[in-house]
Amino acid sequence: MSNTDDTVNQPAGPYEGFGGKVGRTFAGSESWWPERPTPGPDAPNIVIIVADDLGFADLSCYGRREYETPVLDALARQGTRFTDAYANSAVCTATRVALITGRYQYRLPVGLEEPLGQRPIGLPPEHPTMPSLLRKLGYRTSLIGKWHLGAGASGPSLFGFEHHAGLLIGAVQDYFSWSRTVDGVTATSTTYATTAQVDDALAWLATAGPRWFLQVAFIAPHQPFHAPPAALHHVELGESPTDDALFSAMLQALDTELGRLLAGVDLDHTVVVFIGDNGTDRAVARARRQRAKSSLYEGGIHVPLIIAGPGVRAGRVSAIVNATDLYATLIALAGGDEGAVDATSLTPYLTDPVAPPQRPYIRSDQFHDPPTAADGRTIRDARYKLIDFTLADAELYDLRADPTESQPLDAADPAVRAEIDRLMDALDAQEAGE
C-alpha cells in the first residue's frame, strides 16, 4: 500500500531475526505443517477478492450509502458479513503475509516493515503458505493482481501460486498504463487495470479444471484517484471532480468488474471471500485524516470481510476476527488440517453467525525503519483496545462506549491502568510464545 515504488527484485536474504518487542521470529517458530489428505468431492472452489485501501466504514453494506456497490451489497446479504474484522496491519504487505501464511507479521521478515523499498527481503522460500498447502490438497492455484511480497519477478511461483498475472510492486502510477507481469515476464498494459485483472482471472478459470483456488488482489481503489471508463460507473464527475467523487467512481468500477468475475464462476460450488487489506486512504476516508490508512486506529485496520458460498448461512457476525484467520478457515473448508500459529478458523460462524467467540484477542502491528509516530502494536478484546505506540505512551479505548476512539481512557485511573497492564501482558505473552 505504500505509494513509493516498492520494487523488490532480489531473492530473500538470510534472516537473522528482530529483537525487542518483536523478539519471537520465524527462526523460533514452527516451520512445517503435516501432509494433508486428498480433498473430498464436496471441497469447494475458493476465490479471495482483496480490495486495496478499503476500510470498514467506506462500503454501502457497512453504512456508507453514498457509495453504490450493488454486487458487494448482494454478496453481503447472501453470505456472512463480519462487523469486527481487522487487518493485522495498517499497510499492505503485512496483511498479504497474513493471508497466505496465517501468521502475524512480526514473526516473518517481509511482513514487519513498510515500505519494502529496495531491500532484498521476502518470505523465506521454505515457508508453508495457503496456496502451497492447497496444491497438496489437489487444487490449482492462481494469483491475479497485486503481489507486493518481494522475492523477485518469480516471487508468487515460489510460494504455491502456479500462475500469476498482475503487479509485483505496491501501486501503479496510471491505471491506464502500468507494468503487468505474467509468470515473470513484464510488459506495459494499456488495459484499465481493474478490467485487466478480471480479464486475467476469467482467462485462467477457463483452464483451471474442477478444483481451484484464485486470489484476485485488485489494485483498486488505491490511489491515484481517477475517472474509470464511463461504462463501469455512473458517478457524475464534472470538469473538476473531487477525490471523493473519483473514489466513488473507482469503487463502482471495482464493483462492476467484480460482478463480471462472479458471473463467470460456478457459485453453487465456490466459496467467495471479500476483504480489504487495510483502512481507506486518508484523503477520502470517513475516519479522521490522521486515523485512516497507515494508522493503528480503527480507520487504519478495521476492514470489511464477507464470506459467501455453499453451506454459508446469511447473517452478521460481531465477534472479533483477524485477516490471519482466513488461512485456517479456507484450509479447513478445503478438507485440510488448519493448524497455523496465529489463525483461528471462522467455520463455526459460517453456519451459526452467533456462535461463541473463537478468539480472546486480535492484534495488529506497524513498524518502519526508522520508527514513525504511527508505529506500534495494538491488541483488542471484545470491549477494550490498547495501542502501544513505539514512540509515545500507550492509549486504551473502550470500543463499546467509544467506537470512534474519540478520547483515550485516563491511564491515571487504577481500573484503566489494570486494563492497560492486562492487555500489555497479553501482547508480551504472545510474543514470548505462551
pLDDT tens-digit map of 117-146: 555 556 676 778 999 999 999 999 999 999
Alpha helices (H) in 3-107, listed in sequence order: 70-78, 92-101
Band (98; pLDDT cuts 50, 70, 90): confident
Question: How many degrees, rounded to 5, is the angle at CA 284 between CA 201 and CA 238?
Answer: 85
Whether the CB-CB separation of 116 and 94 falls below 8 Å is answered with: no
| 162-173: average pLDDT | 90
Higher pLDDT, 159 or 355: 355
CB 333 within 8 A of CB 134: no
Q: What is the mean pLDDT of residues 177-194?
A: 95
DSSP structural state of residue 160: T
In this prediction, residues 41-59 reach a mean pLDDT of 93
Instruction: State the Rg of the chain over Cα.
Output: 20
Element (H, E) at 418: helix 414-431
Main-chain phi, psi angles of 201, to 5 degrees: -65, -45
Percentage of the residues of the chain whose pLDDT score is greater than 70: 84
CA atoms within 13 A on the CB side of 406: 5
- Contact indicator for 58, 280 with CB cutoff of 8 Å: yes
For 13, which DSSP code? -
- The DSSP string of 96-132 is HHHHHH-S-GGGSHHHHBS--TT---B--TT---HHH
Contact assessment for residue 117 and residue 91, using Cβ atoms and an 8 Å cutoff: no
For CATH 3.30.1120, the residue range(s) in the chain are 366-431
The confidence band for 27, taking pLDDT boundaries of 50, 70 and 90, is very low
DSSP-based three-state secondary structure for 363: strand
Mean per-residue pLDDT, 6-10 = 33
First to last CA, the chain: 32
For residue 193, give the H/E element and its range: helix 193-205
Asked whether 376 and 387 are in contact (CB, 8 A), the reply is yes
Which amino acid, one-letter code, is at 215? Q
What the block records as the C-alpha cell of 231 is 461504462
Q: What is the CATH number of domain 366-431?
A: 3.30.1120
Lowest mean pLDDT among 21-25, 110-114, 336-340: 21-25
Q: Which residues of the chain form CATH 3.40.720.10?
A: 44-357
List Cα–Cα distances, 15 to 102, 121, 148, in angstroms: 19, 8, 19
Q: Which residue has the higher pLDDT, 354 or 125?
A: 354
Q: pLDDT grade, residue 109 (50/70/90)?
A: low
Check whether 302 has a pLDDT greater than 90: yes
Q: Taking Cα atoms as reference points, which of 360, 382, 366 lies closest to residue 434?
A: 360
**32-46, 201-215, 261-275, 285-299: lowest mean pLDDT where?**
32-46
SS3 422: helix
Mean pLDDT of the chain: 86
Contact between residue 138 and residue 336 where contact means Cβ atoms under 8 Å apart: no
Which ranges of 264-365 would DSSP assign to H, the alpha helix? 298-301, 325-333, 347-351
> For residue 8, is pLDDT > 90?
no
The secondary structure element, H or E, covering residue 397 is: strand 395-398
d(CA 277, CA 43) in angstroms, rounded, equals 26
Burial of 341 (0-12, 13-18, 19+ CB in 10 A): middle
Q: What is the pLDDT of residue 73?
A: 96
Superfamily classification of domain 44-357: Alkaline Phosphatase, subunit A (3.40.720.10)
- How far apart are the C-alpha atoms of 38 and 134, rounded to whole Å? 10
Residue-level pLDDT at 356: 95
pTM confidence score: 0.89
Average pLDDT over residues 233-246: 96
173 to each of 19, 133, 317, 405, how far by Cα in Å?
36, 34, 37, 34
C-beta of residue 194 within 8 angstroms of C-beta of residue 121: no
Residue (of 51, 22, 24, 37) closest to 305 by Cα position: 51
